[in-house]
Amino acid sequence: MPAINEKYADFKSGFVAIVGAPNAGKSTLLNRMLGEKISITSKKPQTTRNRILGALHRPKAQLIFLDTPGIFKAKDTLNLRIVDTALAAINDADAILFILDVANPDPDSEYFLIKRLQNEARPVILALNKIDLIEKSSLLEIIAKWSKEYYFEDVVPISATAGTQVDELIASIENALPKGPPYFPEDALTDLPQRFLAAELIREKIFRLTGEEIPYATAVTIESFKEEKEGKLIKIEATIHLERDSQKGIIIGKHGSKLKRIGTESRQEIERMLGARVFLKLFVRVQKNWRKDTKALRKFGY
């Protein structure tokens, strides 16, 4: 067997922070690049709250992506934590993948990030996302505009949902990474425990199936996660935490219909993720004003 440094003589590896405005498509792109869903997505901004790590294994490289919450002006304690999480991921990275939504620009967030990246020695690659939503003819202008704003290592127009040019983007990121052996074993997809991913899938359904402030007032914790029948059946008990009593009725819905739908849809996705049958039991609880409560935030994983 060759020595380890010989075996990986021309191997590349590194951490890549995915940053951008809320809703730019960061989590959708991560799932697309990995070919697996590890980060939840929705039409609503600020779906992602934690740092989500996903490893992409290539023949000559390992790309370790850090999906982050969007960068925006935070007002409460939860949101300050969320933005800190995104900025911390930038500090941990070897390269930065800046993604913007060409169909719905968010200049506040975009220029905040551009400013944060000034004097950045590490390579920054720009992905111009959602090109499926704009006229082809306007793309050149957008590329020219952003090329003037910053010295990007590369600018790649993509569509994360359609998969357009995602392979080109991956090749460009691989090119920008430093030489080095892999950090994770080849079968590792993420460092996140299955319990966390299950709670996230429940939170995603709440983001998609409820409106107004409900998704933002929600946290999900897993109370128990038990394998039975040699791992063929998994029994999960989860609690949906809300901020106010008045929100309970909305989550539960008429004759429990909303909660039932949240339960069914998340169970189906958790089953797909775990490759096992899942028995999911949901509880609803009110933890008054948890978003401002540092102890509660810690308990809920923020």
Nearest to ligand GDP of 23, 218 (CB atom): 23
141-178 in b/e burial notation, b at 16+ Cβ within 10 A? ebbeebeeebebbbbbbbbbeeeebbeebbebbbebbe
Least Å distance, CB 247 to ligand GDP, is 22
**Sole binder of Mg ion in the list 31, 42, 48, 210 (CB under 5 A):** 48
Name residues contacting ligand GDP, limited to 3-42 (CB under 6 A): 20, 22-28, 41-42
Q: Of 2, 10, 43, 119, which one interacts with ligand GDP (CB under 6 A)?
A: 43
Question: Judged by CB, which is closer to ligand GDP: 104, or 224?
Answer: 104
Is position 136 an interface residue for ligand GDP (rule: CB under 6 A)? Answer: no
Q: 117-130 in b/e burial notation, b at 16+ Cβ within 10 A? A: beeeebbbbbbbbb
Are 46 and 70 contacting, i.e. CB atoms less than 8 angstroms apart?
A: yes
- 109's contact among ligand GDP, Mg ion, none, with CB below 5 to 8 A by partner kind, is none
Is 62 near Mg ion (CB under 5 A)? no
Q: Which two tokens stand for residue 194?
A: 């299955």
Q: Is residue 23 involved in binding Mg ion (CB under 5 A)?
A: no
> Would you state the structure tokens that stand for residue 160, as one six-digit string?
């994360």
Instruction: Tokens for 268, please give them.
Output: 């189906």
Q: Minimum distance from CB of 214 to ligand GDP (Å)?
A: 17
> Hey, what amino acid is at 64?
I
188, 248, 253 from 25: Cα distances, Å: 23, 30, 30
Provide the pairing of β-strand 61-67 with 52-58: antiparallel
190 binds, among ligand GDP, Mg ion, none (CB under 5 to 8 A by kind): none
Determine the Cα–Cα distance for residues 263 and 205; give it in Å rounded to an integer.
8
- Of 13, 62, 109, 159, the residue at the interface with ligand GDP (CB under 6 A) is 159
Given 13, 20, 25, 27, the residue binding Mg ion (CB under 5 A): 27
Tell me the CA distances in angstroms from 129 to 4, 190, 221, one per residue in order: 38, 24, 32
Q: Is residue 130 a contact point for ligand GDP (CB under 6 A)?
A: yes
Q: Decide: is 132 part of the binding site for ligand GDP (CB under 6 A).
A: yes
Q: Per-residue string for binding with ligand GDP, 66-85, x by CB under 6 A? A: ----x---------------
* Closest-CA residue to 133 (of 156, 159, 155): 159
Residue 118, SS3 per DSSP? coil
What is the binding site for ligand GDP (CB under 6 A)? 20, 22-28, 41-43, 47-48, 70, 129-130, 132-133, 159-161
What is the binding site for Mg ion (CB under 5 A)? 26-27, 48
